[in-house]
Structure formats: C-alpha cells, structure tokens
Structure 1
Amino acid sequence: MAEISWIKLKTTMFDDEKIRLIQAIPESDAILVIWIRLLVLAGKTNDDGLIYIQRNMPYTDEMLATLFDKPVNTIRLALTTLGNFNMIDLGQDGMIAITNWEKHQNVEGMDKVRLQAAKRNREYRERKKQQTLSISHDVSVTSRDGTDIDKDIDKEKDIVQKHQHSGKSAKALETDFEKLWKLYPNKKGKQVALKAYKKAIKDGVSNKQIQDGIVAYKKYLTANGTEQQYMMHGGTFFNQRSWDDDWSINTPTASGFDNYDFEAQQRKVAEQFEQ
C-alpha cells in the first residue's frame, strides 16, 4: 500500500462522548496518545483502517510498546479500552482495525494517493524502458530488464484496475457482505471481516467464491461436530481468505450431516444475490 504523510483529525475530537469518558479513567492521557498513534499507523498502512507491518504480520503488543515508547501493560490497557468503546476492532489473529475508518478519514483522498503512486511508478518504468530502447537500438528488447519493466507496468495497471473495481457503491458492497455474514456460523470480528471482504472484491474475488467457501466450511464443522467456541471467528475467516482452503470431509457419514440441507442453503444465498 502507498503510504500517506497525513491523517485527518477533527478539531472537535475532544468533545466526543467516548473521548470524554476515556479522560475520566486512569492512564487517560496515555490511552489518548496511543489512540492518535494508532490512527497514524493506520494512515501509513493506508488499507481501509487496518494496521499491520505486512498483510500476514500484525503488530504485537510488544512491538507497539517499542514504537510508542510505552510499557506493555499500558498498551494492553489502551487496546482493551479502545476495543470496549468500539473505536478499534481486535481480530483473533491479532490484526487491529480502526472502526468506521471511512468516517474518520478522507478515504477518497487516500485512494487517490495510491493511484497517483501507481501512476508515478508506471511513468518511471516507461521512461526506463524508452532509455533502454534508445541505447540498444533494438526495438524488440529481450533483455531481462526490459521484460521486468513490462511486467512491472502490467502489475501497476492491475493495481489501478483493482481500485476501479466492479463499480458497486459502498452500500451495495455492504449489502452483499451482510448476506454472506448471515450465512457464516461464528459472527465475531465483523468490522475486520467487512474490510477484508471489500479488499477481496477489489482483488477480483467473487461473492460466489466466498459463499461456496463458507458453505464448505459449515459442512466441515458439522461433519466433525465442532462446537461454537472452536469455530473460526468470522473476522479471521475473511481476513485470511479461508474460503480458498481445503475443507474436505474425511468422514462423509459424520453425525448430523444428513440433517442439514447445505445445497438448499447455498441456493437461498444465491437467490439473494440475484435480487
């Protein structure tokens, strides 16, 4: 993701009811500093409010303590407090997400930064390609550098196209997500799941792929008699794109399997998407 050098803070943020309530508890100053630092990290990541080092590497409490120069216990107190006030969402995999990021920040402006960065990279690669052609006087450049430049340009085009995805409005995307969320058995980590869903759709994943993955996972759970407390949180399932995992059932005669009409459930969800 293209890093940005700014985030938006409202001048009335300290009039907010949640901020005022936080100010009344111990370590309030430290908690509010950590809140602002988390907003800054989310801006640097520039991925719909998610906070991570790499996609599969969230920050640990110890990492945040080092970055923010705060005791680990203070970091944990802040994360718990902010989570209780629904200001952040803590995924089971440790991923932190700013709740309602699009309301806090200028999301369109941040998307523009990403697209501009892709455009600059594309123009730079094109200049390099032309320089290579000029030096070699060989129109059919077959060198490794020329091939890599073409590949990089194609990748950057893909990035732009992904951000200019299906054209669905935010409301339409959320409506489609709600239909899938109703189907998922363990409804925890909804905000993380929603952000991961939007990212997956931008990357070209279809609702049908996700739906089929959820249905396969439910069959797997039923066949193995998995209890609710051991089911993967919805936020984790979506964030890890677990619809692509292999949920093969090794025991086709597992108890309870015959009593659940998964095909009917799958048809029901498919009909909802067609409405």
Structure 2
Amino acid sequence: MKIGVMVESFRAGLAGGLQAAKELGADGVQLSVSGQATESELAEIKSQLDDSGLELAAVCADFGGHGFMVADENPARIERSKKAVDEALALGTNVVTTHIGVVPHDKSAPRYKVMAEACEQLARYARSAGAWFAIETGPEKGPLLRSFIDDIDIEQGLGVNFDPANLVMIVRDDIPSAVEALGPFIVHTHAKDGNNLRELDPEVTYGAVPCPEGAEQWSGFEEVPLGEGSVPWPEYLAALKRVGYDGYLTIEREVGDNPRADIELAVKFLKDLLAR
C-alpha cells in the first residue's frame, strides 16, 4: 500500500500542500475539484502536480448540501459530478470520491430510490470513461452500504472510498467486518482516526433530517491524530490485505492547530505499520 495526503489538510494552498506532502515523504496526494474548472485552471493544477513528482491518488468532489438525497437538486448535482469525473481524468486519476448522503435502512423509502438512481447514473458515466465514482463511508455501516451498491448492480464504475474514522465516530462500526463487506468495491481509502463520544443519529449528523432544537449536529464525536483513536489499525490493514486492497492510504486531517505536524506523525505511523 502507498501513503497519500489530502492536499487541503495542510491549509497551505495547492503549491504549499504539494511541497509539504513531498517533504514528508508521501507517495501521492488527493485534492478537491469543483466540477466547474476551466481548461486553463486544470492545466495549471496539472502542471503543479507534474512538477511535484507526486501521484494523484484521487480527487474529492464534495459539493456540500445533502449529497444526492434531494430529487430536485440531483440533475444539477449529477451534471456537476460528471464534470468532476472529467476533471479527475484530465488531472491524471480515475477515482472520484464523495459523500452521497445517508442511505435509509428502509429500501422502500423514497430517498433510497432517489439516491440509487443518482448513483447509477454517475456509475454508468464513470464506467464509460474508465473511472470510479467512489462513495465515502460514514453514515451507514458496511453491510448496509454493500446492500445499496448491490441493488444498483453495476459491474464497474461504482466504488467505495473507505474512511475508517467516519465509521467509528458516527456508527461505531466494526472496521475489519466493514472491510470484508465492502472489500470488492474499495478503490481508495482515507487514513483518519477518531472516537465516538455518545450514540448518534447519522440522519441528524449528516443533515438528512433537521437537527432537533437544543441539540448540536456536530457533537458526539471527535477526530484525533492517527493511532490515538478507536480505529484498530493493525487489524484494519490486515483486513485490507485480505480483500486484496493495495492502493492508497490517504491521510486526511480536518481539525487541529498544527496540521503539518499531525500529518508528519501520521506518515511515520503508517510507514511503521506497513513495514511490519
């Protein structure tokens, strides 16, 4: 497996993030795309990537809001996401990661069909281009997401961006079991750690339903440096190996006062684990 870093995690701009990732010994990076870039903007990003010598592991195409949970919003979001696939390929990767919203447990719920239809359209588009539209884990446990993907029934084009921290922070999932459930579809991973502090409702946390009055949407969990949280790293990496995953572990650090220091420790932490 290879070690990547989310460029935006450095909070130093594209050039600064690429330079920092290289200095810390990463093999590659992930960066965010807008689905609205001009050819000249893409050319400038590609030039900086090429100059860095780092591989582009994946791009992130999160556009905020409700993912693909709202039918009226989906036509525009789908077209923008298709453009993100085009941007990814122009920049040198065939993996696009995003949050899609919260998959309902009830398959008869209207939102289930709305989300499945959106993901099917994007999976077909990605497949036609030789790319992967990768759903990031978080709001649902591994078996539920696997069932959702199976219902869409696309042989290629629809994948998973496995983020173990989201699963332990939000739904208290068993990470090795989730890897086993999603293994055939994992095309990219995030290296992040965290803790769950109380039982959460993913529908509230991810904005599928309004936050109850007096409650805090983003409380009840915490992101922490790699190795300091609830992700069972040796067991997790062993599970990835069992399902045949040999791609990127891309460090994502969304909090903290000194992200570079945290990322430097994360690179060392992962290198030590991979060397065992």
TM range, smaller chain: under 0.3
More strand by share: 2
More relative contact order, 1 or 2 (CA 8 Å, 6+ apart): 2
Structure whose CA Rg is larger: 1
Q: Output the TM-score relative to the length of structure 1.
A: 0.27
Q: Output the TM-score relative to the length of structure 2.
A: 0.27
